[in-house]
Structure 1
Amino acid sequence: MSTDAPDSSTPVEAPIKLSAVEKIKQESNYLMGTIDQELQDPVDHFNNDNLQLLKFHGSYQQDDRDMRIKLKKSGGGKAYSMMLRCRIPGGRLTSDQLVAHLDMCDELGNSTLKITTRQTLQLHGILKSDLREVIKRVNECGLSSLAACGDVNRNIMCCPAKRVGPIHAQLEQFTDELTTALAPQTPAYHELWITDPDTGEKSLADGGEPNSSSNPVIDEPLYGPTYLPRKFKVGIALPEDNCIDIYTQDLGFIAVVRDEKIIGYNVTVGGGMGRTPSAKKTFPALAKRMAFVTPEQAIDVAKAVIIVQRDNGNRSDRKVARMKYLIADWGIERFRSEVETVFGEKLADCTEDDVHGFDDHMGWQAQGDGKWSYGLNVENGRLYDNEKTQFKTAFRKICAEFNREIRFTGHQSIIFCDIEEGEKDRLIEIIREHGIPTTEQTSTVRRWSMSCVALPTCGLAITESERRLPSLIDSIEEPLAKLGLSGERFTIRMTGCPNGCARPYNADLALVGKAVGKYTLFTGGGWLGNRLAEIYKDAVKDDEVVDEMIGLFAAFKANREGTESFGDFCARVGVEKLAELAEAAPRP
């Protein structure tokens, strides 16, 4: 390798101007920053630099936006708290682990627990002074919050169905192996949260991490000192069951099954939902099919994809730093070529296998071993107790009485596993006696809807989502029944801003926060998740949303062809014609 100075006539490229977050990561000493000092400071919030680093540790700082005006009038500051997200690969956990989180939400949070759209749990309302204790307790129950957020691979999604046989066993093993292979190696997490701050000794289990403080590392062999340019999401699906929205992931693995065995995966790359309407350079994208890999190649190919994004993703503008923008700029052929170069050999083309079904795993389903699983719809994933409904009390009782495996779905719901035939009635009895609607009592439209958290805790939210969607569903259930569409399956997704945390841009129908009290309506995606929706109407006032939705359903009823789905119908007629049909269709 030559060490000669470059010829003076050769143009020298100007160094890339890094974004502020890149500089914070670069100077963080592998995510340590000054978090330890701030944890000892009695001030109720963290500084801006450490806020960026805390995301890698699984935590976001938030404030109660409902309290802002009141506090401002009284001369006070913001009502700060922390949100902590766990990493639960494939949404699989034990009854004891769920109870531990229910305890934490009562003792150290805001008394509610949130099942997320990525099959994990979020605790809200944690005071800064309690954050160390919460993360300590998460690890004590054998879980972790490391890499649940931040510019790294986050919680890996996988079909949560419990099925006896080699296919699901392979999926779950691959999920676990990939989680370990793609985990950050920094010792900062363990030094901050696992090691006793007074004695310096490791005081608890390390949550299954590969890098305990007893075996520290000094670098990040996969991520490097500045990690990825932006967040990174991975999903694993079966062709007949795209319950984790494979095409919305940065990196996806669609299992290729032959003779009841997974012989490999069709790899998809470049999915991502976030967009900024004011920045035309941003857009939602569905992943592109890249190549077929064998099970033996899969982990190294995943690492190669991450390395290509690590070394080439945009580090000067976070708005266009996701991998989807790199692929849009390069094209899938060049991206694949770069991955093959890093991997070290050519990859085979994708097989014909692709997603063609979606099972939400709700209700009773046979596991194949004589036992049953029961999927219970949890509206928007929120677990709480009030005078009418007691999710937390019911789940505590189920966990104590049955003590079986728990699984979360990508639609924010829960699956109770390993139920014996003779126990089925008792499980339903507990659910009903705590005021919780069973899945069988839940309307189809409610069952297939989901929302992000939005107000009051999300700092990015423009308008309501989780607190608004249930009443919207209330308002459309009767009109749908009158139209004869109450059994029709279609996805409704709602977000408080365009960042797309509830995956709205591939839904049959979506409401995305545009301005205070206004939403952009999208139509024409689908429950299968392999088609992007289009903007139907922009800046629709909150009090007009229900009427707009009913008009769409009426148009669908009057003009559908055969058994086409709602999303297929909207995509077929197009948004302009759809508006005409909605205006002309008789309302129920």
Structure 2
Amino acid sequence: MSTSNNSEQVIAPGPIIVEGKLHDNERLKTESNFLRGTIAKDLQDQTTGGMTGDNFQLIRFHGMYQQDDRDIRAERAKQKLEPLHTLMLRARLPGGIITPKQWLGVDKWATEHTMFGSVRLTTRQTFQYHGILKPNIKTVHKALNSIGIDSIGTASDMNRNVLCTANPYQSEVHQEAYEWAKKISEHFMPRTRGYAEVWLDADKVESTVKQEEPILGSTYLPRKFKTTVVIPPLNDIDVHGNDLNFVAIQENGKLIGFNVLVGGGLAMTHGDKATYPRKADDFGYIPVDQTLVFAEAVLTTQRDWGNRVDRKNAKTKYTLDRVGIDVFKAEVEKRAGSKFAESRPYEFTERGDRIGWSEGIDGKHYLALFIENGRVKDFPNKPLKTGMAELAKIHQGDFRITANQNLIVAGVPTEQKAAIEAIAIKYGLMDATVTKQRKDSMACVALPTCPLAMAEAERYLPGLIDDVETILDKNGLKDESIILRVTGCPNGCGRAMLAEMGLVGKGPGKYNMHLGGNLAGTRIPKLYKENLGEQDILNEIDNLSARWAAERNKGEGFGDFTIRLGIVKEVVISVRDFHDE
């Protein structure tokens, strides 16, 4: 029997390896010649704007998704045209750090090589391009490579972009934590030269040379794998939504080790009770010099034990619940050749980004800019994209993309602070009218480009926040906010399953409402009501916020309030509580 470290959960160990017919993605990976497939040949086919056969999936290992503009899909079908296929490219940017010179390149190529001309900051602490036409994709890869950026492993069955707390006020610890995020990213990188051969025209590996993937394996991981490095007390990367997390432990201002949290994940499938979001479990403490050893041990255990039959149950969270937490942990210790020590104390007291100026212990200044939905483009009367380029022309430090779709101008010397602020104000990057509710809200991209979206998210959120603010003001809560997140489908990109109120797309204009997350980001919200239309959502928010104003304890957050009053039950163990009616 297996007992969780932080609950009374007991699960009978199941089979270590799931038996059955392998999912077709396993065939695809096996036959891909280490992710090359026939992508190079497919790029020459101009009879379609999309990728064909297995290449539709294989390009994801190279950091791309095929999409189309769903707003015009029906119109094109009437004209007997295929959908307007484009590609989305997501960069690999460990810890979200990018230099001003790199940003100028990213900005330039967004204008020259994408249909929308914008840069999207993502919840994976990086940027992505939308609307790249097939003839331009190779050009974009080469352009990014010329400034030291690639997109390998930012999608599909690999370790995704490694997140790191962007918190500026502990500069020395941040630098150490960031270096570990980079090391983990590099350690988990695929060894195949397929990416370089296909996109960068690198010399091909001779067929007689044996190719190996010593860490990821020849068929890579069963499913996507997400890793973070976080510095308490700020949970700005939502640690419980990731497979593997390193929580920094400090002594006398120095990083001495990490608590290792394993098995978080937020995706689920509507109507399938075998799927659910799950918090990560704290396995224990490791000294800092053991970081890569234990990181590899966790990843390879999931690689070998993860479900390759049913992709909906292939993530690390399901492996833990299937085999038992203690069984999984013991295997990690065996592979690492060392045991976890007892967890060191830590506490998360806040999340999100501290928008505005702050000063680091290094004496330099840090300006966190709020970028609504992470969309960097020139809006009417708010030319954000031009403003960012102007900042990049004079800034001597670096930029840090945050996991909340914002951006920090980091390492600003005192003598340059006024110039940076003047540019930020001029171009709308600093806006004193942005409310706390807007800062505490987030959405995924969804329509029109995401093929998985069932409902609007990015385009829905700004107007929704206007309405929510009106409701809060009416109920005497003008200075309060709800951590509110909207996703167009249940796959978790907008991290709605760690919000105080999460709206998950169910169909056009319809959402499931989940309540009960907390301010620290350490609790999964529970389904409150299904299939709510937009007016129904506002009615519910009105009723709930009126009760919050009248019946809350002093300083009580909205999510805690909904649990205390029994509006929803607390989700303690997802496999037991999340779908419990």
Query: What is the TM-score with the length of structure 2 in the denominator?
Result: 0.91
State which of 59, 73, 76 in structure 2 corresponds to 1:71: 76
Q: Write out per-residue CA displacement over residues 243-296 of structure 1, whole angstroms, 9 at most, x where no aligned residue.
A: 111111100111111221222111010000100012211001110111211111
Following superposition, the deviation at residue 94 of structure 1 comes to 0.4
Following superposition, the deviation at residue 14 of structure 1 comes to 10
**Structure 2 residue aligned with 1:513:** 505
Matched, 1:321 2:314: yes
Matched, 1:568 2:572: no
- Give 3-state SS (helix, strand or coil) of 1:31's partner: coil
Matched, 1:188 2:194: yes
CA distance in 1: counterparts of 2:554 and 2:107, whole angstroms: 47
Matched, 1:90 2:106: no
CA distance in 1: counterparts of 2:568 and 2:238, whole angstroms: 28
**Structure 1 residue aligned with 2:392:** 399
CA distance in 2: counterparts of 1:39 and 1:114, whole angstroms: 25
CA distance in 2: counterparts of 1:571 and 1:94, whole angstroms: 44
Matched, 1:48 2:53: yes
The verdict on how the C-alpha distance between 1:437 and 1:486 changes in structure 2, with shifts beyond 3 A counting, is: farther
- Give 3-state SS (helix, strand or coil) of 1:257's partner: strand
CA distance in 1: counterparts of 2:568 and 2:188, whole angstroms: 45
The residue correspondences of 1:467-546 to structure 2 (distance < 5 A) are 467-546=459-538
Deviates more, 1:305-314 or 1:470-479: 470-479
Following superposition, the deviation at residue 311 of structure 1 comes to 0.5
**Structure 2 residue aligned with 1:209:** none
CA distance in 2: counterparts of 1:490 and 1:396, whole angstroms: 33
Following superposition, the deviation at residue 576 of structure 1 comes to 5.7
Cα contact 2:250–2:257 (8 A) shared by 1: yes
Deviates more, 1:216-225 or 1:560-569: 216-225
Matched, 1:550 2:542: yes
Following superposition, the deviation at residue 384 of structure 1 comes to 1.0
Deviates more, 1:457-466 or 1:49-58: 49-58
The verdict on how the C-alpha distance between 1:166 and 1:403 changes in structure 2, with shifts beyond 3 A counting, is: closer
Following superposition, the deviation at residue 577 of structure 1 comes to 9.7
Cα contact 1:96–1:403 (8 A) shared by 2: no
Q: Write out per-residue CA displacement over residues 373-422 of structure 1, whole angstroms, 9 at most, x where no aligned residue.
A: 11010001001113221111111111112243101111100111222334
- Give 3-state SS (helix, strand or coil) of 2:473's partner: helix
Matched, 1:179 2:172: no
**Structure 1 residue aligned with 2:67:** 62
CA distance in 1: counterparts of 2:229 and 2:303, whole angstroms: 21
State which of 128, 131, 141 in structure 2 corresponds to 1:135: 141
**Structure 1 residue aligned with 2:301:** 308
**Structure 2 residue aligned with 1:442:** 434
The verdict on how the C-alpha distance between 1:178 and 1:444 changes in structure 2, with shifts beyond 3 A counting, is: same
The verdict on how the C-alpha distance between 1:157 and 1:139 changes in structure 2, with shifts beyond 3 A counting, is: same
Following superposition, the deviation at residue 550 of structure 1 comes to 2.2
The verdict on how the C-alpha distance between 1:533 and 1:55 changes in structure 2, with shifts beyond 3 A counting, is: same
The residue correspondences of 1:104-503 to structure 2 (distance < 5 A) are 104-109=109-114, 110-163=116-169, 165-195=171-201, 200=203, 218-358=211-351, 360-438=353-431, 440-503=432-495
Amino acid at match of 1:23: R
Following superposition, the deviation at residue 149 of structure 1 comes to 0.9
CA distance in 2: counterparts of 1:425 and 1:485, whole angstroms: 34
CA distance in 1: counterparts of 2:544 and 2:40, whole angstroms: 54
RMSD (Å), alpha carbons: 2.0
Q: Please, which runs of 5 or more residues in structure 2 have no aligned partner? A: 1-16, 571-581
CA distance in 1: counterparts of 2:52 and 2:568, whole angstroms: 48
Following superposition, the deviation at residue 138 of structure 1 comes to 1.1
Q: Write out per-residue CA displacement over residues 529-553 of structure 1, whole angstroms, 9 at most, x where no aligned residue.
A: 1001011111101232222222221
**Structure 1 residue aligned with 2:575:** none
Following superposition, the deviation at residue 352 of structure 1 comes to 2.7
The verdict on how the C-alpha distance between 1:165 and 1:543 changes in structure 2, with shifts beyond 3 A counting, is: closer
CA distance in 2: counterparts of 1:406 and 1:195, whole angstroms: 30
Following superposition, the deviation at residue 345 of structure 1 comes to 2.7
Deviates more, 1:350-359 or 1:177-186: 350-359
Q: Write out per-residue CA displacement over residues 341-379 of structure 1, whole angstroms, 9 at most, x where no aligned residue.
A: 221232223223343333513110102232211101000
Q: Write out per-residue CA displacement over residues 508-530 of structure 1, whole angstroms, 9 at most, x where no aligned residue.
A: 11111012210011111023110
State which of 11, 33, 39 in structure 1 corresponds to 2:37: 33
The verdict on how the C-alpha distance between 1:327 and 1:577 changes in structure 2, with shifts beyond 3 A counting, is: closer
**Structure 2 residue aligned with 1:6:** none
The verdict on how the C-alpha distance between 1:125 and 1:512 changes in structure 2, with shifts beyond 3 A counting, is: same
Deviates more, 1:322-331 or 1:474-483: 474-483
Cα contact 1:393–1:434 (8 A) shared by 2: yes
Cα contact 1:454–1:460 (8 A) shared by 2: yes
Question: Larger RCO: Structure 1 or Structure 2 (Cα < 8 Å, ≥ 6 residues apart)?
Answer: 2
Query: What is the TM-score with the length of structure 1 in the denominator?
Result: 0.90
CA distance in 2: counterparts of 1:250 and 1:576, whole angstroms: 26
CA distance in 1: counterparts of 2:323 and 2:281, whole angstroms: 13
Following superposition, the deviation at residue 233 of structure 1 comes to 0.2
CA distance in 1: counterparts of 2:236 and 2:448, whole angstroms: 29
Equivalences, count: 550
The verdict on how the C-alpha distance between 1:461 and 1:164 changes in structure 2, with shifts beyond 3 A counting, is: closer
Amino acid at match of 1:171: A
CA distance in 1: counterparts of 2:394 and 2:210, whole angstroms: 43
Amino acid at match of 2:373: N
